[in-house]
Amino acid sequence: MAERRRVAITGIGAVTPIGITRDGLWDGLHAYRSAVRDITRFDASIYHSRIAAEIDFNGSDFLEQRRLKRLDRFGQFTVTASRLAIEDAELDLAAEDRERIGSTMGTALGGVGYAEEQLGVFIREGLKSVSPTLATNVFGGAASCNVAIEFGVQGPNCTNAMSCASGTMAIGDGFRQIRDGYADVMISGGAEAPLNQLCFGAFAIIRAMSTRNDDPSHASRPFDRGRDGFVMGEGSAVLVLEELERAKSRGAHIYAEIAGYAFCNDAHHMTAPRPDGSQAARAMRTALGDAGVAPHEIGYVNAHGSSTPLNDPTETLAIRTVFGEHASRLPVSSTKAYYGHALGASGAMEAAICAMSLERDWLPPTLNFQEPGDGCDLDYIPGTGRAAHIDYAMNNSFGFGGINAALVMKRAD
CA atoms within 13 A on the CB side of 348: 45
Question: Among 3.90.870.30, 3.40.47.10, 3.40.1440.60, 3.10.20.340, what is the CATH number of 260-411?
Answer: 3.40.47.10
Catalytic residue list contains 326: no
CA torsion sign for 408, 396, 353, 331 is negative
Backbone phi, psi, residue 13, to 5°: -125, 135
Q: What percent of the chain has pLDDT over 70?
A: 100
Residue 3, pLDDT score: 79
204 pLDDT band (50/70/90 cuts)?
A: very high
> What is the tens place of the pLDDT at every residue in 329-338?
999 999 999 9
Tell me where in the chain the CATH 3.40.47.10 domain(s) lie.
7-249, 260-411
Please report which residue ranges of 43-111 form alpha helices under DSSP H: 65-68, 73-89
112 versus 2: the higher-pLDDT residue is 112
2 pLDDT band (50/70/90 cuts)?
A: low
Measured CA to CA, the distance from residue 278 to residue 281 in angstroms comes to 5
Catalytic residue list contains 164: yes
> Per the residue annotation, which of 145, 164, 199, 354 is the catalytic one?
164
The whole-number average pLDDT for the span 382-396 is: 97
> Is the whole-model pTM more than 0.95?
yes
Helix (H, G, I), strand (E, B) or coil at 353: helix
Measured CA to CA, the distance from residue 303 to residue 354 in angstroms comes to 11
> Per the residue annotation, which of 145, 158, 199, 341 is the catalytic one?
341
Catalytic residue list contains 268: no
226 pLDDT band (50/70/90 cuts)?
A: very high
Average pLDDT over the chain reads: 97
For 37, 239, 359, 383, the CA distances from 32, given in Å and listed in that order, are 15, 24, 20, 8
413 pLDDT exceeds 90?
A: no
79-114: string of b/e by CB count within 10 Å (b at 16+)? bbbbbbbbebbebeeeeeeeebbbbbbbbbbbbbbb
Identity of the amino acid at 64: E
Query: Hey, which bits of 354-402 come out as E strands?
Result: 362-363, 386-387, 392-399
Query: Hey, which bits of 256-402 come out as E strands?
Result: 256-265, 298-302, 332-333, 362-363, 386-387, 392-399
Measured CA to CA, the distance from residue 51 to residue 223 in angstroms comes to 20
322 pLDDT exceeds 90?
A: yes
> Per the residue annotation, which of 145, 158, 199, 304 is the catalytic one?
304
Helix (H, G, I), strand (E, B) or coil at 141: coil
The whole-number average pLDDT for the span 330-351 is: 98
The whole-number average pLDDT for the span 205-210 is: 95
1 pLDDT exceeds 50?
A: no
Measured CA to CA, the distance from residue 383 to residue 297 in angstroms comes to 25
| Range from 13-17, 136-140, 245-249 carrying the lowest mean pLDDT | 136-140
Question: Could you confirm whether domain 7-249 is CATH 2.40.40.20?
Answer: no
The whole-number average pLDDT for the span 28-45 is: 97
The whole-number average pLDDT for the span 70-95 is: 97
